[in-house]
Structure 1
Amino acid sequence: MITPSGVRDEATARAWQAIGGAPELTERVSYRGAGEVLPAALPVRELARATVGVCSLAAAELLATRGHGPVPPVTVDEGAVATSFISERHLLVDDRAPTPFAPLSGFWRAADGWVRTHANYPHHRARLLAALGMAEDTGPDALAERLAAMPAREIEERVYAEGGLAVAVAPAPGDGGEPGAEGAFRAAGLPLAESSVLGGDGGRRLPEGHLPASGVRVLDLTRVIAGPVATRTLALFGADVLRVDSPDLEEDPDSHTDTGMGKRSTLLDLGTDEGRASFEALLETADVVVTGYRPGGLDRHGLAAEELVARRPGLVVAQLCAWGGTGPWARRRGFDSLVQAASGIAAIESGPEGRPGALPAQALDHGTGYLLAAGVLRALTDRQTDGRGRHLRFSLAGTAGWLMNDIAPVPSDGGGYDPAAWLTESPSAYGRLRHALPPVSYEGGPAGWEHASTRWGGDTAAWL
């Protein structure tokens, strides 16, 4: 069953408002149900479809702005959304499934509650163990014994001080007196999206194009899921997206294979004269810079939004972080799983025995990724009018607060759901891929990426 156009979906309206869209355009969005997909205590299905809906609408709006008549209608299939939100689980590389979470990542009992660790990358594992005074070859059993003897908040602070990743699991909002509740991070009140206009008219307006982002050049300085989901979506809609990484910070190949669709990937050391010169040459003709590091983390390289727009008037700078742009947690490292734990989501999704739970997808990552892509597309639409740059800010915690406090459940419709309808195969530099199709589109829009992921760091630092 398709929800008719013109029927207001509150989550869609809220997300569209957050990125500055005209309210009446949400009447162009409708949803095709697929039953009880992404089941959870929290309204994950509603968040997922709304973020895909506004991203699709933003693409349709930009296409219309570039001379293609009225904004085309958008129909979002919840089956496609559910498949894409767990795209990393559907990925096969020559019939091999990706490696799941590392053995030292997960929920652990502490002396007074629970903690959540993230040790998927070797440097994060090393810092976690160093903070706890444990050997590099420590296994899960020894780690569990060590953590069980320490208070959750002490674990959190010791690991953070070492540059690692662990958070105390916060109680569900409204529950008091549980271990670690004092001083816990809170997502309530954080903005879903922020936008400000920067600089003067840069003189770069997009001509008519066959896709919304045709001719748009995007520098992608993001990692893991949320940022790469955003930029693979911009690539779907025609942008030339070049991901830029440091040669000293290797990416997980499975993560890159899943989220590198339609993009290219290069390595630049911004700490060297050669690397900076290459980056500045790319920036001279860029339209968008997307970053996924902690607030201030790239400032030493001259990559603060104000500096970038000063050097490239009209540039759209979109920044993504875990914990929000202000407050005592702003500069901490973080991932979707940790934000779920620290915000109270893990407690809300806990099982009958009280063990913390998780959302049915990395929904904060994927949802924020689609919101970020939508924000960039809307900023490009606005730039067509005034030629000025934009500074956009998104966070996983802001999306968490929206999920926990501002989305009402909507009855599901439709029959059964088979993810096979939303999977395809493509050749790649890594082998034959089985992967999820994109859930974002509009009437007449692209059904897939121009190419699969290229090899991480294997492309030249130049625009097409």
Structure 2
Amino acid sequence: MTTTRGDETTAQAWAALGGDAAAAGRVEYRGGSALGTGRLPVRELARATVGACSLAAAELAEVRAGRGTGSGDGPLTVDEGAVSTAFVSERHLLVEGRAPVSFAPLSGFWRTADGWLRTHANYPHHRGPLLGALGIPDDDRAPEAMRKALEGLRAAEVQERVYAAGGLAVAVAQPYGDPQPLVTWGPRSGGGRELGPAATTGDGAVLPASGVRVLDLTRVIAGPVATRTLGLLGADVLRVDPPQMPEADDAHADTGFGKRSARLDLTAAGDRAVFEELLATADVVVSGYRPGALDRLGLSAEALLERRPGLVVAELCAWGWTGDWSGRRGFDSLVQAGYGISAAEADAEGRPGVLPAQALDHGTGYLTAGAVLRALAGGGGRTVRLSLAGTASWLVREVAPVAPGEEPYTPGDWLRPAPSGYGELRHALPPVAVGPADWSRTPSRWGTDAPVWLP
């Protein structure tokens, strides 16, 4: 099997995480990939984000073993087959033998009077505003009624009308959007809890994040990918959601590995008190809400660090942290459309296309996990921000293509069965080169765990 040692894109990702340049050469890649089918270098982005996350995990393990933060003593081998499978984990998922539906009928590309529009209506609280903005009844005839309505409207007009109603629709744009930073670090604010030597599993796999408590305030793919990776590496991850915003069962079945899930209404005094008790001994908070959305609850990164100077706060959003769109909701598919990627991947007839994976989500997830691990290795007390638009900007401007390999790729090599709160699952194995080969904790049903830390 051919092995390739390091590359320019891995060095870029590691530098964005603030890592020592010499360490990037430790990462090597082997095996075949299924992510090189589009026009943009998704394969290179995917393996580099996993490579950088693996480096961060190895670094934290070395720090906890008292060996400092040097370049390590051996290579970290990332299998591109594992990366390919993990980056489309939601497509490989089976729940009791059933394949989930990734996109609802009203989610997708629609032709308009002057171009194309991308919509997202997987959740009822998005479907209703979308149809309401267009004056379409919510019944079985809605897709055809929407198709006819959009053919007579301008894409940008619909985009703004739907946004004003609380829905999600983005005009397919070109050329590419404005440059965005890949990772933005805040200043240090003081040391966190002292972490002793990392624990290991029964078969000797190191758990770099063992003993670390993570409050997971994220939804859908990017944030949950980050926190399921931290859970793999030994962290006690507790996802907290508001009761009034239920998660799709299939989405949680895919990304709920390595964590527990509880429901708390942070506007209710009793639930808020429980949350404050959790926060008082947390080491990490990962937030996937829009910029400013948690400020009204006193949970901005600045407020959290003022109360807990040693905390690590990782924030991720869709459209970036500055600019007119920074406060808008978004998903990977919408950012692809609005950032110019869908137009770049269009077919010969001009119909917009998509990347071979929701690579903005998954890539941002692994970078977020890597950023948290690096902040812990540095003693805590850091904020870090990432966005899907930042990952998109990196993809279209900086990620360097490499020569395609000839290695075969078989996804079945990276799929395993597991019991869960949803029944028997077939799931993708984690691709990071450090830690266990699989999660020790499978998904419980969303929101059914007690809001307490493990003893």
Which letter does structure 1 place at the counterpart of 2:433? S
Q: Structure 2 matches for 1:302-317, cutoff 5 A?
A: 302-317=298-313
Deviation at 1:199, TM superposition (A): 2.5
Q: What is the aligned partner in structure 1 of residue 195 from structure 2? A: 206
1:224-269 CA distances to partner (integer Å, 9 max, x unpaired)?
0000000000000000000000000000000001000010000000
Q: Find out whether 1:289 has 2:285 as its counterpart.
A: yes
Residue equivalent to 1:20? 18
Asked whether the equivalents of residues 64 and 71 of structure 1 are also in contact (C-alpha less than 8 Å), the reply is no
Distance 1:326 1:136, change over 3 A: same
**Distance (Å, rounded) in 2 between the aligned partners of 1:377 and 1:47:** 19
**Partner SS for 2:352:** coil
Which residue matches 1:102? 104
Q: CA deviation at 1:100?
A: 2.7
Q: CA RMSD in A?
A: 1.2
Q: Which residue of 2 aligns with 1:3?
A: 3
Scaled by the length of structure 2, the TM-score of the pair is 0.95
Matched positions, count: 442
- Equivalent residue number for residue 149 of structure 1: 152
1:169 matched to which residue of 2? Answer: 172
- Given residue 91 of structure 1, which amino acid in structure 2 is its aligned partner? L
Which consecutive residues of structure 2, in runs of 5 or more, have no partner in the other structure? 200-206
Q: What residue in structure 2 maps to residue 180 of structure 1?
A: none
- Judge conservation of contact 2:31–2:409 (CA < 8 Å) in 1: no
CA distance in 1, matches of 2:263, 2:50: 30
Matched residue, 1:350:
346
CA contact (8 A) 1:55 1:370 kept: yes
Q: Which residue of 2 aligns with 1:178?
A: none
TM-score with structure 1 length normalisation? 0.93
2:427 paired with 1:461: no
Per-residue displacement from partner, 1:162-185 (whole Å, max 9, x unpaired)?
111001001244xxxxxxxxxxxx
| Pairwise CA distance, 1:205 | 1.8
Which runs of 5 or more structure 1 residues have no equivalent in the other structure? 174-185
2:439 and 2:393 map into 1 onto residues whose CA distance is 32
Q: Distance in 2 between matches of 1:112 and 1:402?
A: 29
Q: Which has the higher mean CA deviation after the structures are superposed, 31-40 or 349-358? A: 31-40
Partners of 1:305 and 1:405 in 2: CA distance: 29
> Aligned-pair distance for 1:139?
1.9
* Contact 2:33/2:84 (<8 A) preserved: no
Partner of 1:181: none
Quick check: 1:63–1:209 contact (8 Å CA) kept in 2?
yes
Deviation at 1:222? 0.2
Cα 1:333/1:35, change in 2 over 3 Å: closer
CA distance in 2 between counterparts of 1:80 and 1:280 reads 38
Q: Which residue of 1 aligns with 2:203?
A: none
- Structure 2 equivalent of residue 427 of structure 1: 419
Query: Which amino acid in the other structure matches residue 406 of structure 1?
Result: E
Q: Does 1:368 align with 2:364?
A: yes
Alignment of 1:112 with 2:101, yes or no, is: no
Separation (CA, whole Å) in 1 of partners of 2:350 and 2:31: 32
* Aligned twin of 1:182: none
CA–CA separation in structure 1 for the residues paired with 2:225 and 2:40: 22
- Any idea what the Cα deviations from partners look like across 1:129-188, whole Å, max 9, x if unmatched? 111122122521110000111011100000011111001001244xxxxxxxxxxxx2x3
| CA deviation profile, 1:406-456 (whole Å, cap 9, x unmatched) | 1121012242211000000011111011000000123xx311101211111
- Per the TM alignment, residue 36 of structure 1 is displaced from its structure 2 partner at its CA by 5.1
Alignment of 1:260-409 (within 5 A): 260-383=256-379, 388-409=380-401
Cα distance in 2 for partners of 1:330, 1:37 equals 29
Look up the equivalent residue of 2:395 and give its one-letter code: L
C-alpha spacing 1:361/1:392, structure 2 compared with 1 (3 Å): same
Q: Could you tell me how far apart the structure 1 residues matched to 2:77 and 2:392 are?
A: 25
Equivalent residue in structure 1 for 2:179, among 189, 198, 204: 189
CA contact (8 A) 2:361 2:388 kept: yes
* Partners of 1:19 and 1:375 within 8 A in 2: yes
For residue 76 of structure 2, what is the aligned residue in structure 1?
74
Comparing 324-333 and 403-412, the one that deviates more: 403-412
Give SS of 1:197's match. Answer: coil
Q: Percent identity?
A: 62
Rounded Cα–Cα distance in structure 2 between residues aligned with 1:428 and 1:68 = 37
8 Å contact from structure 1 (residues 108, 144) kept in 2: yes
- 1:447 maps to 437
| Deviation of 1:38 (Å) | 4.0
The CA deviation at 1:220 is 0.1
| Aligned amino acid, residue 120 of structure 2 | H
Separation in structure 1 between the aligned mates of residue 229 and residue 39 of structure 2, nearest angstrom: 28
